């Protein structure tokens, strides 16, 4: 009898909760839309709170760190001015971190903006690489380097430095690393960023790496350091289409 009464109480409680749940469903009795535009008066307490930070941020974003003699655009088949600049900077940093690094790699989609001719600001670099991607160095077998080259051929070229790649009919026709033919049995070191090393942008050729070293430096920090270093040396930012990735028709 006690068991029957206990289960009856439990079922009654469950029924009550279920009925309460049904009754407490929110409903909209009157819809009203609010327009957000310049006529809306800001909260001065909030504005006064963030204004000092906004000023500091704008000052930093507008800080000039270099000068580009030409516009670095995404235009081009196989390679582009902005892609060559990007991966040259990445290879420069990779070889600082590990002198055995031979090549660098990014993707066209990862470079989010071009650079106009003239002053280069911190904000310009943030626009180019707004993500938190960090530097990664991979050790690969030669045959996996060939898989990487095949990926670039399939995708009609990607930003890279330290290589000469000839693509014909979507296939790798010639592939050199630092001027030498690829050796399938040799080992190579490639600098990229963690997003691509993890398989982002459909990059599947880094699934069998021999070694991997992740660094804390962000890619945009590398780009800013590269531009600032050249500026201190009295150099302007330049890039050229040099045939590192060529597509034969």
185 Cβ neighbours under 8 A, 6+ residues apart: 141, 142, 143
Architecture of the domain spanning 70-248: Alpha-Beta Complex (3.90)
The whole-angstrom separation of Cα 108 and Cα 130 is 14
Q: How far does Cα 100 stand from its chain's mean position?
A: 24
Q: Is 95 helix (H, G, I), strand (E, B) or coil?
A: helix
The span from the CA of 135 to the CA of 63, in Å, is 24
Residue % of the chain over a pLDDT of 70? 89
Q: Closest by alpha carbon to 122, among 61, 67, 174, 177? A: 61
Identify the pLDDT of residue 8. Answer: 41
Using one digit for the tens of pLDDT, what is the confidence trace for 3-28? Answer: 433 444 444 444 444 444 445 566 76
Q: What letter would DSSP give residue 42?
A: P
**What does the pLDDT read at residue 28?**
65
Question: Across the chain, what does the average pLDDT equal?
Answer: 89
What integer pLDDT is reported at residue 26 of this predicted model?
Answer: 66
What's the pLDDT at 40?
Answer: 77
Q: What angle do CA 144, 148, 151 make, to 5 degrees?
A: 135
Q: What is the mean pLDDT of residues 130-153?
A: 97
What's the average model confidence in pLDDT over 57-72? 94
Task: Say if residue 141's pLDDT is above 80.
Answer: yes
Burial class (CB in 10 A: 0-12, 13-18, 19+), 157: buried
Q: Which residues contact 54 (CB under 8 A, 6 or more apart)?
A: none
Taking the whole predicted model, whether its pTM rises above 0.95 is answered as no
CB 207 within 8 A of CB 199: yes
pLDDT at 85 over 80: yes
Write the pLDDT tens digit of every residue in 205-237: 999 999 999 999 999 999 999 999 999 999 999
**Who wins on pLDDT, 126 or 52?**
126
Under DSSP, is residue 248 helix (H, G, I), strand (E, B) or coil?
Answer: strand
What is the structure's pLDDT at 4?
Answer: 38
DSSP-assigned letters across all residues of 159-201? -EESEEEEEETTEEEEEEETTEE--TTSEEEEEEEHHHHTTGG
C-alpha 71/C-alpha 67 separation (Å) is 10
Give the residue with greater pLDDT, 44 vs 30: 44
Q: How many CB atoms lie within 10 A of CB 118?
A: 13
């Amino acid at each position: 009898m006690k068991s029957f009464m206990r289960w009856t109480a439990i079922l009654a409680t469950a029924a009550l909760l279920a009925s309460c749940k049904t009754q407490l469903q929110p409903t909209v009795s009157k819809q009203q839309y609010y327009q957000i535009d310049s006529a809306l008066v800001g909260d001065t307490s909030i504005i006064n709170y963030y204004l000092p930070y906004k000023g500091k941020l704008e000052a930093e974003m507008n800080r000039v760190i270099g000068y580009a003699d030409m516009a670095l655009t995404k235009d081009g088949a196989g390679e582009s001015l902005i892609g060559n600049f990007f991966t040259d900077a990445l290879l420069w940093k990779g070889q600082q971190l590990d002198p055995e690094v031979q090549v660098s790699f990014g993707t066209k989609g990862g470079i989010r903006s071009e650079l106009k001719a003239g002053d280069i600001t911190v904000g310009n670099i943030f626009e180019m690489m707004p993500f938190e991607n960090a530097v990664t160095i991979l050790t690969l077998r030669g045959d996996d380097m060939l898989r990487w080259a095949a990926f670039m051929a399939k995708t009609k070229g990607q930003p890279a430095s330290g290589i000469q790649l000839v693509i014909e009919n979507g296939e790798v026709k010639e592939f050199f690393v630092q001027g030498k033919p690829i050796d399938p049995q040799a080992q190579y070191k490639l600098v990229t960023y963690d997003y691509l090393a993890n398989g982002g942008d459909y990059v599947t050729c880094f699934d069998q790496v021999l070694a991997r070293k992740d660094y804390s430096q962000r890619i945009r920090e590398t780009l800013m350091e590269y531009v600032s270093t050249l500026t201190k040396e009295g150099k302007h930012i330049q890039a050229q289409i040099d045939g590192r990735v060529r597509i034969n028709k």
